[in-house]
Structure 1
Amino acid sequence: MAGDNEVGRRPLTSYVGRADEENEVRRLLGVGRLVTLTGAGGVGKTRLAAQVASSLTRAFPGGVAVAGLSELRDGRLVARTVADSLGLYDTAARTDTDAVVSYLRSRRSLLLLDNCEHLLDGSTGLITALLRDCRDLVVLATSRCSLGIAGEQVLTIQPLAVPPEEIGTPAEALAFGAVRLFVERAGSVLPSFEVTESNAADVVRLCRRLDGLPLAIELAAARIRVLSPSQIADRVERNSSVLATGLRLSVERHRTLRATIEWSHSLCDEAERTVWARCSVFAGQFDVSAAEDVCGPLGAGSAVLDAVDGLVDKSVLARVDGTDRVHYRMLGLLREYGGHRLADSGEEPAVARKHRDHYARLIEQAADTWFGPGQDETDERLTAAHADLREALSWSLRTPGESPVALEMATGMIEYWVARGAAWEVRDWIDRALASAGPETPGRARGLAIAALCAALHADLPRARERLTAAEAIEDDNAAPYVAHARAFVLMLSTEPNSLAHAAEAVRVFGERGDVRRQMHPMFLQGVALAYRGDLPGARTLLGSMRSRCEEAGENRYRSMALFGLGVAEVGFGGDLDDGERFIRSALEIDLRASDVLSAAYRVDGLAWVSARRGEWVRAAELFGTAATLWDRCGAEPDVALAATRQTFHGATREALGASEFDAAFSLGQRRNPHEALAGPLAHPESERSVLPPLTRRESEIARLVAAGLSNREIAARLVIARRTVETHLQHISHKLDLTNRTRLAVWVAGHEPL
């Protein structure tokens, strides 16, 4: 639908052009650094902004970033969302704003920030910081109101053009955007529909009555399967005085939009109306199981699935493709309307609690299935539910007495948050839950220990020690292995003694409790500590055991960690070099499949050590360069615990080559794809192949991979970028080439490859 849908997603329908508005937006972007598209909800700001942004990729060699805020309800997460859109990991001890500024400061880039109106403070704060510190950045924002930032250029978007009341032929009617949009949407519902001499006047009457508002037109077009244009127009006119209350639309001309939403609501049966209202608690996309948990039970004989199907048919819910499970999402204005209905019904507190409970159970289920063959599926489910995990945490923190549940949710699956590059975010959720929960809260010591571990992940050792001291002051035997684990990590990062003993204690106690998943990281720490102590056989035995347990369980993420530990032990401490290389390469293969950028940085760095030990100095320097690009993406450097070994190999490589030759090889490596580290001497990367006009280099690269049959997930793994980034590029390609499916894109690529 038009309006508030997230711009980073591939559009479900083609774009009905607004040539004059597009040209004006481009002109404003050429003379100013902040352009805000304003207008009422449903007027088409998002689609217009996305179309313009997709056409400007050549003008911004630093990239076009797209961040949709419609799923957010917490202004603290605006900068994190932008960092996500840039593929940045938050592993360094810096704020999300600092990470975004650091990345964009030297780049000529365009940032599209969509749906700012409900998070004005967070949006304006971030934009102000970016425009101040990133001199070559241009921002295109959409909002129902202006942002009030100095230098802002505001363009109010009007509805689509409508024909005059007296129109002649169907061809004349189709010259207007409102009519074209209605025909296109009606055709997607009823393929045989077209404007004819007999119905042209009614189509025009309807589009005029709907004031050319895209959302209203789409809602009306959804009824074309059961009503004619004349019947739809008659019903819209009869309902024009029945206004939906509570929607934040002050412009008189948009009463029709409110009336259209109210009319759509009146066409639903009682079960559909109930599910519409209850689904308004979802912040993002949701699957059937979530809908059934949150919306049920309905009245006798009514099923949630049937109601969901009816709402999809009426265009209230949109089906989201591209995942293994079918998901649904609700447009912002329709969610807002449903939210008012839910509040009026008195059910809001109970439904919100059901929503929170569903996602708390999802975290529990993820914890049970993460260490095993279902890890990828678990990650997919959590990723799809990310916006609602945030909303469930936020609800628990703002609802009296519920912060202990927030603490349990935030600490239950830190592997997920770290893997998606959101260690800082989960650290913030934990800290907020600890601050909100009372001193007698069950699990507080465990929460403090995990908070210490998260602080250590950012190398914030003072904060980590403070949290550990607070955890140790609480007498709680259940927290003992968590405290030992965090203590071991802190001691290793600070190169202090006794890391080995604390890691071994955590492994022992977690083992006694049958908690294999939580044994894994302290077991890695224990194995590396043995290698540092000079006990290479002990390190091999322990890390080999960790690897075997992962392989037996069908687990991959911790298996990669075990393999890397074995590689570090062999390469860094005088072991078998061939074995070490084999271990690190196997770990890198796992990480690249999972698009785990931080882990891949460690592995590529490790392969540079291998080349340095062999005296392959040029290759070592190139690999250090490839790793550096990954470290930069993460805003991180190798942990202190590995720094001494890395510095030895890095320094030896630079000395052997000399500064000039080292820098040249390092620079070449920075332009390489990490996959090439697995292929022997680094060959010319995919990105150096010719561009396919009018696509950019990156778009050409993605188009070729689509033509080769790779899925979005496989493309993300191949290029070591986020899947949402792939989806954004595909949206740009779709707009440029006017191609609506992957098969047509593959045919286009085949016909445009140079001979």
Structure 2
Amino acid sequence: MSAVSHPSPRWRTHGLPAEVTSFVGRRREVADVKRLLPGSRLVTLTGVGGVGKTRLAYRVAAELCRAFPDGVWPVELAELENPELLAQAVSAALGVEDHSGRPPVEALTDHLRDMTALIVLDNCEHLLPECAVLADALLRASSSVRVLATSRQLLGIPGEQTLDVQALPLPGADPGSVEASTRYDAVRLFVDRARAVRPGFALTEDNRQAVERLCRRLDGVPLAIELAAVRLRALSVQQLLGRLDDRFRLLERRSCAAVERHRTLWALIDWSHTLCTPEERLLWARASVFVGGFDLETAEEVCAGDGIAREEVLNLVAGLVDKSVLITEETPFGVRYRLMESLREYGRERLAECGGTDAVQRRHRDHFARMCADTLASESCQLKLLSRVKLETANLRSAMDYCFGTAGDAAYGLRMAADLRNHWLSGYLGEGRQRLAQGLALHHAADEARGRALAVDGWLAVVDGRPDEAVRLFDEAREIGERLGHGVILADVALQQGLLALDRGDAETAITLCRAADARHRATGDIMGRIRASLWLAGALTLTGDLDAAVRTAQEGIALCEAHAKSLYRAHLLTMLGVAFWRRGDTGRAGTLVRESLTFHRELGNSRGIGLNMAVLAWITAADGRYERAARLLGIFERFSREPRSRQAIGAQVAGYRHLRPYQEECVAEIRRALGETDFEAKVRGSARLDVDQALSYALEESAGDDVAEAAGPADGACSTPLTRRQTEVARLIGRGLTNRDIAAELVISQRTAEGHVEQIMHRLGFGSRSQIAVWISEHDGRNGTEVEHRGRHLR
């Protein structure tokens, strides 16, 4: 049972993917793990590589979803190379985006403190000490959290229970019949995977003994069986067995230090390597520098050259896909490819053997450095760029690790960290500050790279609520800018100081600084600087009550964003424009603007932007006298902020907008007075329990107000359905045979949003395929139609 592809959409209640291949065997192991988890809060599945630990953990987690109302969350660690980013990786998998500047572990434990959740830490072996410390911290923070880990070694913390995942059961020398042979899971797995590559394949008396012997030669290791089965595209079982036997006899004379099963698996990978052409082997080795996958264009840039022509890469990639060396994954940006971890490790050894690691790593670094620069300079859609950067997070981390670990390359990594400033602000604030600090500690030259990085780090420090740090960083950045005569650095420092003044509530100073910075940015031709100046200037003008000027400033900034495809800042400016219109009493226009901003932030998965949108929508709704809805929006705001309501001030939760704190406090007080304490608390608590899809649909008015109540269960006498209205609509389109792309076009939403709806539907209904959804919606609509007809007859 090989590891399946794990798509990672940004928002979901349970993060488990649908199984893309059948789950064979392991009934006893599933039952054992389910028995261990209630009594032990940490269960670790151990075993050799390729034995199926991940697949077993995910199956158990899927069967236990109902027992964990706050989510079952898989955290794939194989692609995480830097142990210092472990807490951030777990936070990202759980959707935790903390902007308080606290240590990541503290933010994560606070998030989980009152939750009942299961966290699956997958592939811990290369981060064993760090995983042990983190798991212990999580379990100490909450008595309702369970951890299911997979590792080749125990984590070694008190209370840990372990299950050694063995290879699949194998037939003896001759079980005697086809029926007897198929009772063994190893044989069943081989037959199942063989049918996937050769439809119609069956276990017969003619091939039974060859299949049994082959499974025994592979020691019942699921990954080895699957890698062998794919060869049936070109070979018969007998041919496969003959070649495998010859190869293993040769390989068994290798090191006696390796575990037998591991040697066998490695031998199979080695054999797969020999079946590739020399060019495919070279591409395999070079592709091992990628962490978390890559697309074709990236492979052409990084892997071509020195023996591989750029125009050959497509055919070589296709050849490795055909040989099951590369796994394909569908993403909103097209097809991506990745190596399973054991195959990637093998490729890295081969790359080191041929002495090509540094050259390929430098091409990898250069490619992702250009991607970082594009997030600032490119005229293409900013939403697409930032979403792409999120998809490439593992590769970007690897590239920066290479820069900071290579003599003379620290400035290169520092420029990458500074260029990613918008990425850091879309949910990665702590990591951004850590990366900038790392680079600044290594690169001390008073040059452009350090000056820009200091200015960006100062900006992030303001957002992080650390004004004293920001002042120190700005002072050094300004000194470098003056020494170099660097207008861009000086303009950036002036603008960030305007933000700092605004953050401290000094609107008049902020206005002066932002206008001065805007003039500097005009002189240097810095469009992004002008856009940011308009955002903060509009906020300061709103605070002073100069609403007409605030509206003009925000509209000018929006026009710049639209002319230069800066959609992230357009969304922020739409919100600020909405605040200005709300202050002018035009709640209708204000609500339209903020909902448009929210639609963008939903697509990006930016909880910081979503949190601000929810708060402003609550203010607007309260101004219209719709206090119950306003209270529910405050509850949804809390759902995204994950902060106690005792600190219900927008500045406490949405960093970088602390100047809006008085508006939030006034709104909360007004709604409390209107509803009374009991009703207010009930409305806030009820909507805070909504899942992300329901919450966003409610805020965007895609569903009626009763969808909020629906989350707690149907009303008496109503037809029970676990889906929201939007999800039911999507299910009906699936029943009509529409693809995700077709659904997106039909509902005028993005394909990514459509994919998220489909995954939520599968989770809620406990299904693993679209065909099951189609059958369910047909039966559901049939039942409802019968009930409606019955009620109609009764009324007549």
- On whether the aligned pair clears a TM of 0.5, the verdict is yes
Kept after mapping to 1: 8 A contact 2:210/2:237: yes
* Corresponding residue number in structure 2 for 1:283: 291
CA drift at 1:750: 3.1
CA drift at 1:5: 6.2
User: 1:357 & 1:244 partners in 2: Cα distance?
Assistant: 41
CA drift at 1:327: 0.7
Letter in 1 for 2:375: A
Greater CA drift, 53-62 or 94-103: 94-103
* Corresponding residue number in structure 1 for 2:393: 386
**Map 1:209-608 → 2, pairs under 5 A:** 209-243=217-251, 250-297=258-305, 299=307, 303-369=312-378, 372=380, 374-419=381-426, 421-474=427-480, 475-476=483-484, 477=486, 478-496=488-506, 497-572=508-583, 574-608=584-618
User: 2:465 & 2:46 partners in 1: Cα distance?
Assistant: 42
CA drift at 1:446: 1.3
Asked if 1:143 corresponds to 2:151, the answer is: yes
Letter in 2 for 1:184: D
Letter in 2 for 1:557: L
* Corresponding residue number in structure 1 for 2:677: 659
- Which of 103, 112, 115 pairs up with 2:123? 115
CA drift at 1:335: 0.6
User: 2:255 & 2:425 partners in 1: Cα distance?
Assistant: 38
Inter-CA distance 652–191: structure 2 relative to 1 (3 Å threshold):
same
Letter in 2 for 1:652: E
Asked if 1:620 corresponds to 2:630, the answer is: yes
Inter-CA distance 242–704: structure 2 relative to 1 (3 Å threshold):
farther
CA drift at 1:580: 2.8
Asked if 1:742 corresponds to 2:770, the answer is: yes
CA drift at 1:745: 2.6
User: 2:73 & 2:254 partners in 1: Cα distance?
Assistant: 33
- Unpaired stretches in structure 1, ≥5 consecutive residues: none
Letter in 1 for 2:494: A
Deviation by residue 1:564-603 (Cα, 9 ceiling, x = unmatched): 112212323x453443333333333333344333222222
Kept after mapping to 2: 8 A contact 1:72/1:387: yes
3-state SS of 2:502 partner: helix
Inter-CA distance 218–349: structure 2 relative to 1 (3 Å threshold):
same
CA drift at 1:15: 1.4
**Map 1:57-76 → 2, pairs under 5 A:** 57-76=65-84
Inter-CA distance 405–443: structure 2 relative to 1 (3 Å threshold):
same
- Which of 685, 690, 711 pairs up with 1:687? 711
Deviation by residue 1:414-466 (Cα, 9 ceiling, x = unmatched): 223322x1121122111111111123343211110100111222212222222
User: 2:51 & 2:199 partners in 1: Cα distance?
Assistant: 25
Inter-CA distance 484–9: structure 2 relative to 1 (3 Å threshold):
farther
Letter in 2 for 1:413: L
Deviation by residue 1:52-71 (Cα, 9 ceiling, x = unmatched): 01100112222211101011
User: 2:74 & 2:413 partners in 1: Cα distance?
Assistant: 30
Letter in 1 for 2:342: L
3-state SS of 1:318 partner: strand
Count of residues in correspondence between the two structures? 745
Kept after mapping to 1: 8 A contact 2:672/2:680: yes
3-state SS of 1:35 partner: strand
3-state SS of 1:400 partner: coil
Kept after mapping to 1: 8 A contact 2:386/2:604: no
3-state SS of 1:286 partner: coil
Kept after mapping to 1: 8 A contact 2:534/2:556: no
* Corresponding residue number in structure 1 for 2:662: 644
Kept after mapping to 1: 8 A contact 2:191/2:202: yes
User: 1:723 & 1:69 partners in 2: Cα distance?
Assistant: 27
Deviation by residue 1:597-630 (Cα, 9 ceiling, x = unmatched): 3222222221222233334433333332222222
* Corresponding residue number in structure 2 for 1:2: 2
Kept after mapping to 1: 8 A contact 2:762/2:773: no
**Map 1:116-195 → 2, pairs under 5 A:** 116-195=124-203
User: 2:560 & 2:241 partners in 1: Cα distance?
Assistant: 66
CA drift at 1:552: 3.9
3-state SS of 1:276 partner: helix
Greater CA drift, 445-454 or 595-604: 595-604
Letter in 2 for 1:57: C
Greater CA drift, 123-132 or 378-387: 378-387
Kept after mapping to 2: 8 A contact 1:567/1:579: yes
User: 2:299 & 2:688 partners in 1: Cα distance?
Assistant: 46
Give me the CA root mean square deviation: 3.2
Deviation by residue 1:135-166 (Cα, 9 ceiling, x = unmatched): 11111000011111111111111111111121
User: 1:560 & 1:124 partners in 2: Cα distance?
Assistant: 41
Letter in 2 for 1:330: L
Identity among equivalent positions (%) equals 35
**Structure with more contact order per residue of length (Cα contacts < 8 Å, sep ≥ 6):** 1
CA drift at 1:651: 1.8
User: 1:454 & 1:246 partners in 2: Cα distance?
Assistant: 54
3-state SS of 1:66 partner: strand
User: 1:157 & 1:614 partners in 2: Cα distance?
Assistant: 60
Inter-CA distance 732–23: structure 2 relative to 1 (3 Å threshold):
farther
Kept after mapping to 2: 8 A contact 1:83/1:89: yes
User: 1:400 & 1:560 partners in 2: Cα distance?
Assistant: 40
Inter-CA distance 164–245: structure 2 relative to 1 (3 Å threshold):
closer
User: 2:635 & 2:704 partners in 1: Cα distance?
Assistant: 14
Inter-CA distance 244–549: structure 2 relative to 1 (3 Å threshold):
farther
Deviation by residue 1:504-556 (Cα, 9 ceiling, x = unmatched): 23323333333323322221101111222232221111111112233344543
Query: What's the TM-score, normalizing by structure 1?
Result: 0.91
- Which of 671, 692, 699 pairs up with 1:677? 699
Letter in 2 for 1:35: V
* Corresponding residue number in structure 1 for 2:12: none
Kept after mapping to 2: 8 A contact 1:240/1:255: no
CA drift at 1:255: 2.1
CA drift at 1:37: 0.5
Kept after mapping to 2: 8 A contact 1:87/1:722: no
User: 2:727 & 2:30 partners in 1: Cα distance?
Assistant: 26
Deviation by residue 1:645-666 (Cα, 9 ceiling, x = unmatched): 2212222222333323332333
CA drift at 1:124: 1.2
CA drift at 1:355: 1.0
Inter-CA distance 347–513: structure 2 relative to 1 (3 Å threshold):
same
Letter in 1 for 2:157: I
User: 1:472 & 1:538 partners in 2: Cα distance?
Assistant: 30
User: 1:241 & 1:387 partners in 2: Cα distance?
Assistant: 39
